[in-house]
């Protein structure tokens, strides 16, 4: 009997032009998650309004809205009074009432499960640590990728994870295209400025605690991971170093030395060389190429290497092949990035001498370029005792200092040790 009354109820509303109104009720319920609120009557035609007036037992001409609870109350004066509006709507729409909030929560839960499974899959790896960090902080980019295409994101994460967890060893270098091909099967997968490349860079920024804001800074970050764009564009500037290929002198470098000229050596050049040496067993390394011409003019017989900023794989390849009997000296800029370079080199090569890192020379080298908190934070932890006092003063003054402003003191130092 109850089922028959509900059947009659649904037939009544389906056969008497209530479809448009019930669709509005359904939409309102799914939005609120309960029976309540009002719906607009402006989309109902005159006949539909007349049918509704008859059902309500009152004229609604000129009325702009009707409340769902008002309609439900009208059911009490009909033979359908046993049922709530919710029950009628459920049967009218074949149980297809879906609360939008529940839909959003379900999607959110599915998304969270997706990322949590990825974190678990790559647990205790550099990529897993990065992904967990993103989920606990700013996950907007990954959420956008997920909402756009979950399947493509899964492929993207798995490929970037494989790349991240298979970075070249410290004493190796790999060209970007070859690295991409080895890990994804596609040499163009990590082409610069693609979505895949940028996500890979995001992970490297996390691993190396760095930030990139330009194409060059991204290439430098790749170099930190021993990934190079190509062997010919990764180079280092040397002056007055002797190079040997097995037991034979490198004739090209010998010619540059005879002319008192520096030479840029690419990785391709360096790979053919078996060893480097100097006549006076001293090599002076500088961060900036702007010093080189004057130093060569004053010290034509001294050996120099210029890193041109962050040391790349070509630079490390030269030092690896440099005869151990040589003392190596280093001086760079008085800014967080320069200090970090000096600290890393000192830790990697304990015999390296950091020179002219004194408080008075920092004060003399100061520029008008102010240091931000985020840059100063980079030098909060250092391992080289020679740099600790400088860092304290730099954090107090908050200004960069540059080599070019203390070139006379650099010249004095070189004169004393040669």
Domain match, 57 and 122 both: no
Domain membership flag for residue 209: yes
Domain membership flag for residue 121: yes
Domain match, 411 and 268 both: yes
**pLDDT surpassing 60 at residue 243:** yes
DSSP string, 177-191: HHHHHHHHS-TTTT-
**Among candidate residues 98, 122, 145, the one where a domain is terminated:** 98
Range of the domain at 167: 106-228
* Alpha helices, H only, 349-384: 359-365, 373-376
Indicate the burial class of 344 (C-beta count within 10 angstroms; 0-12, 13-18, 19 or more): middle
Q: What is the pLDDT of residues 328-379, one digit of tens each?
A: 999 999 999 899 999 989 999 999 999 999 999 999 999 899 988 888 888 8
Confidence at 120, pLDDT banded by 50, 70, 90: confident
Number of Cβ atoms within 10 Å of the Cβ of 236: 25
Q: Report the distance separating Cα 115 and Cα 23, nearest Å.
A: 36
Q: What is the pLDDT of residues 275-321, one digit of tens each?
A: 999 999 999 999 989 999 999 999 999 999 999 888 888 899 899 99
Report pLDDT for 96: 74
**pLDDT surpassing 80 at residue 104:** no
Per-residue tokens: 135: 């989920």
Number of folded domains in the chain?
3
Domain membership flag for residue 283: yes
Q: What is the pLDDT of residues 124-146, one digit of tens each?
A: 899 999 998 888 886 778 888 88
Task: List Cβ<8 Å contacts ≥24 apart for 127-135.
Answer: 127/160, 127/161, 127/164, 127/165, 127/203, 128/161, 129/206, 130/164, 130/202, 130/203, 130/206, 130/207, 131/157, 133/206
**Among candidate residues 69, 98, 127, the one where a domain is terminated:** 98
Pick 104 or 414 by higher pLDDT.
414
**pLDDT surpassing 70 at residue 103:** no
Domain membership flag for residue 293: yes
Domain membership flag for residue 233: no
Q: Report the distance separating Cα 349 and Cα 344, nearest Å.
A: 8
Phi, psi torsion values for 366, nearest 5 degrees: -60, 135
Q: Report the distance separating Cα 344 and Cα 358, nearest Å.
A: 18
Domain membership flag for residue 367: yes
Report pLDDT for 249: 93
3-state secondary structure of 40: strand
Domain match, 297 and 379 both: yes
Domain match, 125 and 79 both: no
Domain match, 308 and 365 both: yes
Domain match, 219 and 256 both: no
Domain match, 372 and 275 both: yes
Domain match, 336 and 406 both: yes
Domain match, 280 and 395 both: yes
CA distances 102 to 31, 275, 367, Å, are 10, 69, 58
Domain match, 262 and 391 both: yes
* Alpha helices, H only, 185-291: 195-208, 215-224, 251-258, 267-272
DSSP string, 244-257: EETTEE-HHHHHHH
Q: Report the distance separating Cα 200 and Cα 165, nearest Å.
A: 11
| CATH number of the domain encompassing residue 396 | 3.40.1360.10
Domain match, 245 and 224 both: no
Residue 370 forms beta bridges with which residues?
A: 399
- Average pLDDT taken over every residue of the chain: 88
Domain membership flag for residue 235: no
Domain membership flag for residue 234: no
**Among candidate residues 228, 251, 279, the one where a domain is terminated:** 228
The helix (H) or strand (E) run that includes residue 235 is strand 235-239
Classify the C-alpha dihedral 260-266-267-268 as positive or negative: negative
Confidence at 99, pLDDT banded by 50, 70, 90: low
Domain match, 90 and 124 both: no
């Amino acid at each position: 009997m109850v089922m028959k009354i509900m059947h009659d109820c649904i037939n009544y509303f389906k056969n008497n032009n209530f479809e448009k109104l019930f669709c509005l009720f359904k939409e309102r319920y799914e939005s609120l998650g309960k029976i309540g609120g009002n719906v607009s009557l402006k989309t109902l035609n005159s006949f539909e309004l007349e049918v509704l007036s008859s059902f309500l037992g009152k004229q609604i001409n000129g009325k702009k809205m009707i409340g769902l609870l008002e309609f439900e109350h009208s059911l009490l004066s009909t033979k359908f009074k046993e049922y709530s509006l919710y029950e009628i709507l459920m049967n009218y729409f074949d149980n297809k009432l879906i609360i939008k909030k529940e839909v959003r929560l379900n999607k959110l839960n599915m998304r969270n499960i997706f990322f949590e499974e990825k974190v678990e899959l790559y647990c205790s790896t550099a990529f897993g640590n990065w992904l967990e960090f993103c989920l606990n902080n700013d996950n907007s980019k990954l959420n956008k990728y997920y909402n756009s295409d979950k399947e493509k994101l899964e492929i993207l994460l798995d490929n970037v994870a494989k790349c991240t967890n298979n970075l070249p060893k410290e004493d190796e270098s790999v060209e970007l295209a070859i690295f991409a091909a080895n890990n994804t099967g596609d040499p163009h997968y990590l082409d610069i400025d693609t979505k895949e490349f940028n996500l890979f860079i995001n992970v490297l920024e996390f691993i190396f605690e760095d930030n990139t804001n330009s194409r060059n800074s991204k290439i430098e970050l790749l170099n930190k991971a021993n990934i190079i764009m190509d062997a010919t564009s990764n180079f280092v500037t040397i002056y007055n170093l002797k190079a040997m290929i097995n037991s034979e002198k490198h004739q090209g470098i010998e010619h540059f030395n005879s002319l008192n000229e520096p030479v840029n050596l690419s990785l391709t050049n360096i790979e053919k060389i078996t060893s480097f040496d100097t006549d006076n067993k001293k090599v002076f390394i500088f961060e900036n190429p702007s010093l080189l011409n004057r130093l060569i003019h004053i010290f034509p017989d001294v050996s120099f290497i210029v890193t041109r900023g962050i040391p790349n794989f070509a630079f490390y390849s030269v030092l690896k092949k440099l005869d151990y009997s040589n003392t190596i000296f280093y001086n760079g800029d008085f800014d967080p990035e320069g200090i970090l370079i000096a600290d890393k080199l000192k830790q990697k090569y304990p015999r390296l001498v950091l020179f002219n890192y004194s408080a008075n020379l920092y004060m003399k080298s100061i520029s008008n370029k102010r240091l931000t908190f985020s840059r100063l934070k980079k030098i909060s932890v250092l391992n080289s005792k020679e740099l600790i006092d400088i860092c304290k003063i730099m954090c107090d003054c908050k200004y960069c200092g540059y080599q070019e402003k203390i070139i006379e003191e650099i010249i004095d130092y070189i004169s004393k040790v040669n």
